[in-house]
Structure 1
């Protein structure tokens, strides 16, 4: 169990790196290497069933982090490979919480790939695990991610219902209950608002998207650097879609240069923002302002 405790410390560092940077190949590789290290410990000497289960759970957790880094970096072929390995390891561990994480990540991956039916199916696997009946916070996360999937699938009724249910489940979750570190590190009201922002942006309900963006930004914890960049970029899109080019450009310019140039999802959103700005406000001086600002990112990247 000393090795297990050490690996859990390494896992906490991987989670922290993800929240700061997100999507980087170095995070993906580090998590994959640690998964292999956990598996290698299975072959060194004798161990109790409890230790073996914990080592499989650790390996699954690291593989799920490698999977998430690949999803966040839009390297979907890598993510699918990590997912399959993580799913097998999670089955051997018997750990319901890590199974939830893997299948919930799978739903998010398929959502980003534009495969809404697969996204709902994967997310349903997570939502049907016993852990969601034992702890409403897990149920809330499953419902919030379901709402985001419904948004991507252009189902406003399903999205609104899911977010209402997610909030209700969050309200019922016992504060201070023992939960895995990866869940406590990110899932809260701000993350629920972030998922709602994603859904309403996809649905074209830009006032609702902006509302949830502001709520999310006000509640994000300081270390959630990657999440703040994504939410800020989405807020800029919501403002631009409502015709406020000046406010939207000012918002987009708040995204840090490293996120704008090194995070695949943020980079893509800002490229799309620039294209939309040029298309909707061609005579506006903000186009030149944005062009000059984006040029500074390229020179500092």
Structure 2
């Protein structure tokens, strides 16, 4: 019997301009980010995607399905996939001993329900929530801050807190608090990225409290890093510097130079906006030295997967442009884009916007306006996160200041104003 083609999936691919090979490549990148595995064994191929299109495969395997949902922003069901009906498969004959064991376990479970005792929490619950968090972070890397990320993160945090009411060891309880803090910090970060500042502040206060209960210096550092970014958005650069210094003071920065590098880079931005150029450049040097000492293959929380040479180049571009060194800012942006993974679409869009600003600040209007077109290409039609829209707004204001009434300025405004200003 011929297979029924998955028309919904085919239409989605056509609508978004995906080829089978390009989609397989993007899905593999998401899976590698989530699983932290670099082996090509078991990766998806264009043949896999073609089987999905033809209907030969009606329900992708777990990791492939997760990646597809993150890339598309849709559920597998919305893409036309149908889960198997397990009732059609006959069960093998039961072993009598296994049957007796089942009834023993079932009776014990029934006793738990009847007596009102809650089942205990164990490693499997923690692992499941950790995988859920990794999936949410992968979605953020793909699309940037939006309410879907925030809602998913807050739901994970609520579940982790709810599990505290059930019997668990102290170690498991601390791990659950860590997860609740991590989820809440992800929700906060999504709001920072979307420039929803009031909600971001509320989530950050909660995340800092939970990180303290978890006694987790990595998450404490994460929260202070986000506080520094939020204060920067609000124009309070003194608070941004203080939060960056609080991040540097956490225990994790003494144990792991990767975290120390990020904290130094964050303070560099604050110093630059306080017109403390020498302190800003010294902080950048410390960030680079710390990064050179870091073991990048060491297992870490998924939230810091974004940070490395590419992100430091991007932050360097911000500092250099701020202190009036637009040429070096442009070079740093090019360096960032050269090594920034394709899966970090939002970060690539931000870096591209920063590149256009550096070119504009050198008076290269034609090149700068051409560069901004790539911002929309990087996001592949997805809604622009608030930070990206804000940078494009800054570009527009600087463009008008530098070349008011010019044909290039008017053409850019006609082509992109509606697109970049759309919520």
Aligned-partner Cα distance in 2 for 1:182–1:295: 33
Q: Using the alignment, how far apart are the partners of 1:175 and 1:131 within structure 2?
A: 15
- 1:1-301 maps to which residues of 2 (within 5 A)? 1-43=123-165, 45-183=166-304, 185-256=305-376, 262-282=384-404, 284-294=406-416, 297=419
Q: Deviations over 1:11-61 (max 9, x none)?
A: 111111111111212211211121111101111x31000110000000000
Residues of 2 paired with 1:283 and 1:244: CA distance? 16
**What whole-Å deviation, never above 9, does each CA across 1:223-252 have from its counterpart, x for those lacking one?**
110011111111111111111100001101
Q: TM-score, normalised by structure 1?
A: 0.93
Q: 1:35 to 1:193 in 2, by over 3 A?
A: same
1:148-170 per-residue CA deviation (whole Å, 9 max, x = no partner) reads 11122221111110011111111
Q: Which moved more, 1:275-284 or 1:209-218?
A: 275-284
1:262 and 1:177 map into 2 onto residues whose CA distance is 32
Q: Which residue of 1 aligns with 2:22?
A: none
Which SS does the other structure have where 2:342 is aligned? coil
User: Which stretch of the first structure deviates more once superposed, 259-268 or 65-74?
Assistant: 259-268
Q: How many residues align?
A: 299
Change in Cα spacing, 1:84 to 1:16, as seen in structure 2 (3 Å) is same
Residues 67, 273 of structure 1: alpha-carbon distance in 2 compared, 3 angstrom cutoff: same
Aligned CA-pair RMSD: 2.0
* SS at 2:223 equivalent: helix
**Structure showing greater Rg:** 2
* Alpha-carbon offset, residue 87 of structure 1: 0.8
Mapped to 2, the partners of 1:74 and 1:176 lie a distance apart of 32
> d(CA) in 1 for partners of 2:187 and 2:174?
20
Provide structure 1 residue ranges, at least 5 long, that are not aligned to the other structure. Answer: none
* Residues 262, 307 of structure 2: 8 Å contact kept: yes
8 Å contact from structure 1 (residues 237, 248) kept in 2 = yes
The separation in 2 between residues aligned to 1:6 and 1:232, in whole angstroms, is 36
Q: Which ranges in structure 2 are unaligned for 5 or more consecutive residues? A: 1-122
Over 6 Å off, 4+ runs = 298-301
State the TM-score, normalizing by the size of structure 2: 0.67
Task: Say if 2:352 and 2:372, in contact at 8 Å, map to a contact too.
Answer: yes
Q: Name the one with the larger helix percent.
A: 1
